Amino acid sequence: MKVAVTHLGNISQLIPVTSVITGIKKQKINTNITMVVSKKEFSYIYKYNKNIDKTITLEQFVKNKELYDLLINLYPYLPDENLNTKQATGFCLFSQYDRFKEALTGEQKFPEMSILQLYYILAGLTWKGEGYDLGYSPKTKTRKNRIGVSVANANVRNYVLDNLEIDNKKIWYIPYKKNIFKKMDEINKCKKIITDDLTTFHLSVAMRKYVYYLETYPLNLKLEFFNKGEIYKVPMNLF
């Protein structure tokens, strides 16, 4: 069975897609999966994922005109001319799911549903607790007591560190890394993570770190910590 999974979103949205890819492989026998992304530079995210047979851009997807048994669209946009498939589900393809667009645009909240659950629903599957799977093993070792901090706003950072009463000797500021895998190497040096960045959050959860996610604006979907983390609400007057 040839399946095309399309997601034209950003890095932080593409990381959780690895969970539903795992679900497709588990629940649909003998499946060949093609991942379709918006930009060539995003394709490297799935470089080590053995469940994905190939990753292509939307432009390549349109030019190839390859016929798929099933197309699953996980992003609220997909040009109509791309639908060279026997069956299709997801955003723009099945009207039942149109209401979920509002969760991604910020117009409506679904507080009892995580992005993982939403992706599984769009794929026509049931989420059974499958986690992330980037297929990459960090090259660094974890330091037992180190707490990694990735918070750009100094006011927010200082407020949170003071209120969490963390020993300054344990704090380590995670350096910026554009490359996802180098970023994972840095995150893996820590036992716990404090962040307001969704990309850092998803990568940290993928590596089973305990995460304090700083809620600096209202969330439309529930965050899935897999019992290793919590939300810390930040006062708006800090901005």
* Domains of the chain by residue range: 2-122, 147-238
Q: How many CB atoms lie within 10 A of CB 198?
A: 18
Q: Maximum Cα–Cα distance for the chain, whole Å?
A: 58
Q: Which tokens is 160 given?
A: 């949170």
Looking at 3.30.9, 1.20.120, 2.60.40, 3.40.50, the CATH number of the domain 147-238 comes to: 3.40.50
The 8-class DSSP code of residue 147 comes to: E
Class for the domain spanning 2-122 = alpha beta
Distances (CA, A) of 230 to 47, 171, 223: 30, 18, 9
For the whole prediction, is pTM greater than 0.85?
yes
Counted residue by residue, the chain has a size of 239
End-to-end CA distance of the chain: 50
Distance CA 172, CA 7 (A): 34
Q: Residue 238: what pLDDT?
A: 77
What distance in Å separates the CA atoms of residue 75 and residue 6, rounded to the nearest whole number?
Answer: 7
Nearest by Cα to 47 from 79, 70, 14, 92: 14
Distances (CA, A) of 224 to 51, 79, 140, 181, 221: 22, 31, 25, 21, 9
SS3 string, 194-223, reads EECCHHHHHHHHHCCCEEEEEECCCCCEEC
What is the Cα–Cα distance from 131 to 209, expressed in whole angstroms?
13
Tell me if 2-122 shares its fold with 147-238.
Answer: yes
| Amino acid 82: pLDDT | 61
* Inter-axis angle of helices 180-187 and 198-206, nearest 10: 70
Please tell me what DSSP assigns to residue 136. -
Q: What angle separates helix 17-27 from helix 115-122, to the nearest 10 degrees?
A: 40
The DSSP 8-state label assigned to residue 108 in this structure reads S
Q: What does the pLDDT profile of the chain (239 residues) look like in tens digits?
A: 999 999 999 999 999 999 999 999 988 778 999 999 999 999 999 999 999 999 999 999 988 888 999 999 999 988 876 678 899 999 988 777 878 887 777 777 888 999 999 999 999 999 999 999 999 999 999 998 999 999 999 999 988 988 888 877 889 999 999 999 999 999 999 999 999 999 999 999 999 999 999 998 888 899 999 999 999 999 887 77
Q: How far is it, in rounded angstroms, from Cα 238 to Cα 153?
A: 9
Could you tell me which residues are beta bridge partners of residue 70?
A: 3, 87
Could you give the dihedral angle defined by the CA atoms of residues 34, 100, 62 and 22, in that order, rounded to the nearest 10 degrees?
Answer: 0
